[in-house]
Structure 1
Amino acid sequence: MKKPGLEPVVWNPPLPSESAPDRLPTLRTFPLPGSGPEDVLVAADGSVLTGVDDGRILRLDPETSQVTVVADTGGRPLGLEWLPDGRLLVCDAEIGLLAVEVNRGSERVPTGVPTTGLGKVETLVDQVDGQQVRICNNASVGADGTIWFTDSSARFDFAHWKGDLIEHRGTGRLLRRDPDGSTSTVCAGLQFANGVALNADASAVYVAETGSYALHRVDLSGSSAGIREPVAENLPGFPDNVSLGDGGLIWVAIASPRNPIVDRLSPLPPMLRRAVWALPEKAQPKPAFEIGLVAIDPADGSTVYNLAGTNPEFGVSTGVRERNGTVWLGSLSANSIASFELTDL
């Protein structure tokens, strides 16, 4: 696949915070028969669902570590949420917004088993306002079935996601799908729109801008509807998925710490970033195999937890979900998901 051209925009990143993160608690890791379990979602029975880079949706039983295949999107699943009808909502970076049955047939791994009997996959959205959804990334679902979801870039597909961050043109969108199937743009011009979380009273959503180290609040009604208000504008790295915890905290997965090379090049002539983009993939800046998490109090925007650490079996933390005292983590590139207990903080 030919690499798209780059049209970099000059910008000045905020200065990195001088405050050091707290050490991440010891993780429990769960090996998977697949790579890149980008998001995690906890079911009512305590099992954990995730999607891997070959399109399969996996279900993990944390008690036995048994893994089953419950569906296959045929694309690249990223964000996961529950729909009111019990189906799994999947943000597929290559296809769009999907509804997937995960409670019919299931088959044990390892890979290579037949996929007959797996859950039916329905495409809900693949374009909005006449524009293709190029990187469907993350979503949040209201009680009535209204879906807020992100399209990270209008210029780059998932295979070239890094180009959007290097370019910094800001073509991401926060989108909405109503229960009747109609769709609309809530706000545009986002720097690699990523994680989405509906707040407790459904009056606003929080959306992460990976390309600007920021988290914003977007009101959903009234005179300020669709307007972004900053909550955190200097996160310690590239924010990815966002979720609302049981205790009301907004959890933000930090996929990678900030890259000094990327920050230094951003205010310099665009030709320098074009040169970086022209390099072979292995020579370009890449996410560090580290773990980062931030938890924010939505009442005042204060940071409650700023956690960082490393684990040889897990890194590039892109998904986070707090349920019943356990924090679950997903990854863009690891072959496992991970967890720790809130009581260990």
Structure 2
Amino acid sequence: MSSDTLTRIRYRYLPDHLIGEILSKRWIDNAVPFLALVVLVAVFGIIAPGFLSVSSITDLGRQVAEFGLIVLGLSIVLMSGGIDLSVASVFTLAVLASLIGTNVEGFSVGLTAIGVVFLGVVCGSINGYLIGYMRLRAFLTTLVTLIIFRSIYDILFLRMSTAIVASFSDSDFLFFIGSGTILGIPFSLWVTLIIAVGWHIVLSRMRPGWRLTAVGGARRSAYNAGISVRRTVFFAYVWSGALSALAGFLFAARIGSTGADTGVGLEVSALTAAVLGGNSLGGGRGSVAKAAMGALFVLILSNNLTNFGVSGPVNSTILGCVLISSVFIDMRWLRNRHKWLSKIYVSPAYLQLPPPPSATDANSPYALNDKLRSVEIIGLGQIDGPEDVILDRDDNLYCGTRHGDIVRFFGPDHKRHEVFAHIGGHPLGMQFDRDGNLLVCIGGMGLYKVTPQKEVIKLTDETNRSFLSVVDDSRLRLADDLDIAPDGRVYFSEATIRYEQEEWATDALESRGNGRMICYDPRTGTTKTEIHRRVFPNGVCMANDGVSFLFAESWIATINRYYFDGPKKGTIETVISNLPGYPDNINRASDGNYWAALLGMRTPALDLALSMPGFRRRMARRVAPDLWLYPNINTGCVVKFDEQGNILDALWDLGGQNHPMITSMREHKGYLYLGGVSNNRIGRYKLPDADPNWTAQDFYWGREGSSRT
């Protein structure tokens, strides 16, 4: 078996790219603490007698309910970019207040619980006001409030200890809170689970959670985005105090007493649990699951160390070492994550292209020429990055710019221009629908519509997610080009699901089937993926039969035809299989044929490298991105072809003086208008023998907007 065959098999059936995709997921942060937790449970399950017994698990559940609330509150503060060292002192104050309320004063359980939580809110508000509104340092502020709250506890405990010991509550409900179960699960754990689920929804699905992580991740940016940073920080500490106080109430209901050492060192344990679970000390990153895993790990470790006779100071030392290790790993991961991912994520595929057709042979249909050398220039220096161009029935010329605008040049001379619409992103492929609305693919945003009244409407920014996809391919990363079927369905290409628009060249380095063709149906408002695993699908153009469309696959230099209706529905046919360059947009010609833009020319070095995925992998890992092998985009070309794939004409700007990179072209009233994503101009080329009255809109939709038959 040849080495090429082995290489082909290895890179086809061993999906290396999945490793990078898995490591790029946000939940991968949970993998290490989860595996550590599993190992810890397995070890103590073997060496600790009765560790997995029902009574032991039930008792652990009650401790998790209390400790988990403290860790959750601290994690909320960490996500906001702060730290709360006073959680242990708030916890001990809450324990004391609970015992005074139920045992000494004889208040009802409900009233006591409300009062205790309110006490936690007051303590959290003090921290929140000093840190959020007064802008004091979180570490020093909560260190001081830790001492103050603990001192208040010590003073009150000395005065009330005798009364607490001498009295007790005979409330069955309080006993049920501390020792009761529902379906075999401790009542206190049910309370914590409900709160945890609620906070998971808040953090992952609601605006307060998004604002919290935004403030923690980049406080200045969050402020500039209109988020009330001070209020967000304030309420983070309020919630920390409230949850710590609730934990103290549950502890008092379970134990029924307190002592001078209650809560001592608890802040270290809680901080260890929060960081060990994966909540970042730097802010902006965390979750309820991380807090829960950290709490479980710390409780299991400390409880079993105590059961094995390890003294308190040694136990605390071990937890301190775990905390230092967790902080070290967290900081190293945050600092180097993108660097490590960049070396793993890029995963080239094996691709062997046939030798490209000659363009230097005078008898070749691709023979070099200078037909585009002296084209008329429109909008020189007034636009940047017109990836696609299109004209309406009134001869107005439209193009997108990398600044997020759609610019309109007024016909017939195209001297004056205006910003027709500001969308954001980078407008790419464009097409007019039956009613004169301009449909636009926006890189990183999806499919949009601009009405003749300049109203911008989002049509879709997601599609159905693939069942086996690791990356979230429901979000549209790089919607590229589109065309509209006679019945109004919109078919558009998404060049890649793995990279953003500014990383398109990295997709060229991979040259694997990262792209797809998608259908948006305006009648139902639904979007679905029509064709999977295409190699940088690009230009889209409806064929003359009305039941199929042509689409380009850039990196394999191919133009295909897909039947979305009719007897051949669902089939793909190759129209042109070996172009000399990389095809981009495809559009109709006045004689019933098609124009295709070649955004760049193939080179022997890159063609050879495509059959050497190992070489490209090493290049991606060891060489700076600006030194990688990229497609040659310095020479532009436009070809005309028929539905059988015959090349009818080729238009070159051999020196690349006017159009070094051509990504689109539109025929309109005897002229060919040229756009390029790297250009700062639009070209207009006079087509010999072309119909001077032909327009794409009238040809396709009819003069009155009725669909062509």
* TM-score computed with the length of structure 1 as normaliser: 0.89
Amino acid at match of 2:508: L
Q: Is the 8 Å Cα contact of residues 12 and 267 (structure 1) preserved in structure 2?
A: yes
Give runs of aligned pairs for residues 7-18 of structure 1, distance below 5 A.
Answer: 7-18=347-358
Q: Is the 8 Å Cα contact of residues 88 and 100 (structure 1) preserved in structure 2?
A: yes
1:226-262 per-residue CA deviation (whole Å, 9 max, x = no partner) reads: 2221000111101111111222111110001113221
Q: CA RMSD in A?
A: 2.1
Instruction: Supply the distance in 2 between the matched residues of 1:127 and 1:72 (Cα, whole angstroms).
Output: 21
In the TM superposition, residue 18 of structure 1 has moved relative to its aligned partner by 2.2
- Which residue is 2:442 aligned to? 92
Q: Is the 8 Å Cα contact of residues 375 and 658 (structure 2) preserved in structure 1?
A: no
> Which of these residues, 580, 583, 586, is aligned with residue 236 of structure 1?
580
In the TM superposition, residue 276 of structure 1 has moved relative to its aligned partner by 4.3
| 246-255 or 304-313: bigger deviation | 304-313
> Which of these residues, 352, 362, 369, is aligned with residue 23 of structure 1?
369
| 268-277 or 256-265: bigger deviation | 268-277
- Which residue is 1:82 aligned to? 432
1:19-67 per-residue CA deviation (whole Å, 9 max, x = no partner) reads: 4424142311111422110001011111110001111001113515212
| 64-73 or 247-256: bigger deviation | 64-73
Higher relative contact order (CA 8 A, sep 6+): 1
- Which residue is 2:460 aligned to? 125
Runs (4 or more) in structure 1 with deviation over 6 Å come to none
Instruction: Supply the distance in 1 between the matched residues of 2:414 and 2:504 (Cα, whole angstroms).
Output: 36
In the TM superposition, residue 201 of structure 1 has moved relative to its aligned partner by 2.8
Instruction: Supply the distance in 1 between the matched residues of 2:621 and 2:553 (Cα, whole angstroms).
Output: 21
In the TM superposition, residue 120 of structure 1 has moved relative to its aligned partner by 2.2
Q: Is the 8 Å Cα contact of residues 218 and 229 (structure 1) preserved in structure 2?
A: yes
- Which residue is 1:343 aligned to? 688
Instruction: Supply the distance in 2 between the matched residues of 1:277 and 1:53 (Cα, whole angstroms).
Output: 29
In the TM superposition, residue 84 of structure 1 has moved relative to its aligned partner by 2.0
Give the structure with the higher percent helix.
2
- Which residue is 1:153 aligned to? 496
In the TM superposition, residue 306 of structure 1 has moved relative to its aligned partner by 2.1
> Which of these residues, 624, 627, 636, is aligned with residue 291 of structure 1?
636
SS in structure 1 of the partner of residue 351 of structure 2: coil
Amino acid at match of 2:684: S
Q: Is the 8 Å Cα contact of residues 256 and 289 (structure 1) preserved in structure 2?
A: yes
Count of paired positions: 329
Amino acid at match of 1:17: P
Q: Is the 8 Å Cα contact of residues 217 and 230 (structure 1) preserved in structure 2?
A: yes
Higher radius of gyration, 1 or 2: 2
Give runs of aligned pairs for residues 268-307 of structure 1, distance below 5 A.
Answer: 268-276=612-620, 279-284=623-628, 285=630, 287-298=632-643, 300-307=644-651
Would you say 1:249 and 2:599 are equivalent positions?
no
> Which of these residues, 363, 376, 387, is aligned with residue 38 of structure 1?
387
Instruction: Supply the distance in 2 between the matched residues of 1:165 and 1:184 (Cα, whole angstroms).
Output: 25
- Which residue is 1:200 aligned to? 544
Give runs of aligned pairs for residues 91-110 of structure 1, distance below 5 A.
Answer: 91-101=441-451, 103-104=452-453
- Which residue is 1:140 aligned to? 483
| 205-214 or 269-278: bigger deviation | 269-278
In the TM superposition, residue 134 of structure 1 has moved relative to its aligned partner by 1.2
1:169-207 per-residue CA deviation (whole Å, 9 max, x = no partner) reads: 112111111132122222111100100000123121000
Instruction: Supply the distance in 2 between the matched residues of 1:277 and 1:79 (Cα, whole angstroms).
Output: 33
Instruction: Supply the distance in 1 between the matched residues of 2:580 and 2:660 (Cα, whole angstroms).
Output: 16
Instruction: Supply the distance in 2 between the matched residues of 1:217 and 1:288 (Cα, whole angstroms).
Output: 25
Amino acid at match of 1:200: N
In the TM superposition, residue 282 of structure 1 has moved relative to its aligned partner by 3.2
Q: Is the 8 Å Cα contact of residues 32 and 337 (structure 1) preserved in structure 2?
A: no
Would you say 1:321 and 2:670 are equivalent positions?
no
- Which residue is 1:164 aligned to? 507
> Structure 2 regions of 5+ residues with no counterpart?
1-336, 361-366, 466-473, 691-709
* TM-score computed with the length of structure 2 as normaliser: 0.45
Residues 278 and 312 (structure 1), Cα distance of their counterparts in 2 relative to 1, 3 Å cut: farther
Instruction: Supply the distance in 2 between the matched residues of 1:188 and 1:141 (Cα, whole angstroms).
Output: 19
Give the structure with the higher percent strand.
1
Amino acid at match of 2:432: W
> Structure 1 regions of 5+ residues with no counterpart?
105-118
